[in-house]
Amino acid sequence: MTERTLIKNLAAREDGAVTVSGWVETIRDQKKVQFVILRDESGSLQLVRPRPEPDAETGKSDDIAESISALTLGSFISVSGELKHDERVKLGGIEVKIGTLDVVGKALPENPIAEDSSIDKRLDWRFLDLRRPEQALVFRIQTTFEHALRTYWVEHDFIELHTPKLMASASESKAELFEIEYFEGKAYLSQSPQFFKQMAQPAGFGKIFEIGPAFRADPSFTSRHATEFTSVDAEISWIDSHEDVMKLHEELLVAGFAAVKAKHGAEIEALFGIELTVPSTPFPRIPLAEAKQIVADRGYVVPRADADMDPEGERQISAYAKETYGHEFVFLTDYASSIRPFYHMRHEGDEGLTNSYDLIFNGTEISTGAQREHRVDVLIENAKDKGLDPEELDFYIDFFRYGVPSHGGFGMGLSRVLMLMLHLPSIRETTYLFRGPNRLLP
């Protein structure tokens, strides 16, 4: 079997024999010559073959010409032939003259989706939608981004964990839980690895990370919500405040963005029309109360004074950060304890505020982080203050009864980061197979 060459590697090869494989993107079946545009996972290539004179008796050309004429768009083919560099060829300055052609997988003649199909229609036929170059690029970017995060973590002596996704009880709240049958009882799909990544701190692991699935029974139909998503999590010991977590978080994102820009910057600009910016550090930091006042001064009042920043508030504070700091990221800090979980550490001297933050990127929240409360007596009182029964949290509170260092961490939605990085309208575009309230297929 002749070794297959990726299209992106052909330009560096000398003229001569080559084998390429991919799917048919365009066919120009002319009287004297036949052209096929072939696409593989790395790019597009023009295939060419002069059409032989037809047989005097049958009126048909040879078998290869007939095979080309019968090709359907989207069919997977393998071609061996002669590579030729020719600057007159608009598509990359190279072409392959077809010697042999093998139809590996023939496509039906009618494609069920088109360029102007709705997102729901495209998701119905996701495996075809993913053939688009910009969609393939999304997942190459995702791969590069995750690799850069892992490289940062490994180089800084973090331990990677894979926490269970079957839970005996809620990880954060009893709301938004998927309940499933589990032998003779019930179990729940994990909303977050929160408790388990905290468990690694009294275990003495020090610094841990995980990239894995999380599940929320959230009936939202917005562009940024999903019932199953990939969560990027980290937790570190021996911190002084949430400032240490924010520093880790911004350094990690800089590493990810720098890797993506270095490897895919030109493609991103070509396919998405965006010049990717690697963020500078430190990211701007604005206390939530101050951020709400800034937004109010811009003409928008967040409806509830005792609530989190709403989507319009996030857009407004993000616009302010760009205007004032020239930055696409902004940390909102010092959230009220009334709107934060019981395990977020409260300010020393001000029980009404927490050592926590949300990270806003291009107008949308992508992450929540905090210093955790590690003092068991305070943790129990905070749980009671939230109306929780400490006995129901016994398995979690046990983590703190046998010694635990100060610690904190964050969770971040991967698809949201990619969506906002590429200025796309929905996480449906940056999720391989999206899951929402009305979508379980494909």
Q: Is 243 a known ligand-binding residue?
A: no
Is 290 annotated to bind a ligand? Reply is: no
List, in order, residues 6 or more apart from 24 with CB less than 8 Å away: 36, 37, 38, 71, 72, 73, 74, 75, 76, 77, 107
User: Coil, helix or strand for 289?
Assistant: helix
Q: Strand 285-287 and strand 329-333: pairing?
A: parallel
Rounded to 10 degrees, the C-alpha dihedral 197/254/346/216 comes to -50
Rounded to 10 deg, the angle between the 414-421 and 133-155 helix axes is 120
Is position 365 annotated in a ligand binding site? yes
The H-or-E segment that residue 194 falls in is helix 194-199
251 marked as binding residue: no
- How far is it, in rounded angstroms, from Cα 227 to Cα 215? 5
What is the bridge-based pairing of β-strands 179-182 and 350-354? unpaired
Residue 350 carries which side chain, given as an amino acid letter?
D
Question: Which residues are 96's β-sheet partners?
Answer: 47, 83
- The whole-angstrom separation of Cα 150 and Cα 161 is 12
How is residue 429 written in tokens?
């575009």
Rounded Cα gap, residues 431 and 45, in angstroms: 28
Query: Which residues, listed in sequence order, are joined to residue 51 by a DSSP beta bridge?
Result: none
368 is in an annotated binding site: yes
Establish whether 415 is an annotated binding residue: yes
**Binding region:** 172, 216, 365, 368, 372, 413-416
**Binding region for ATP:** 365, 413-416
**Binding region for L-aspartate:** 172, 216, 368, 372
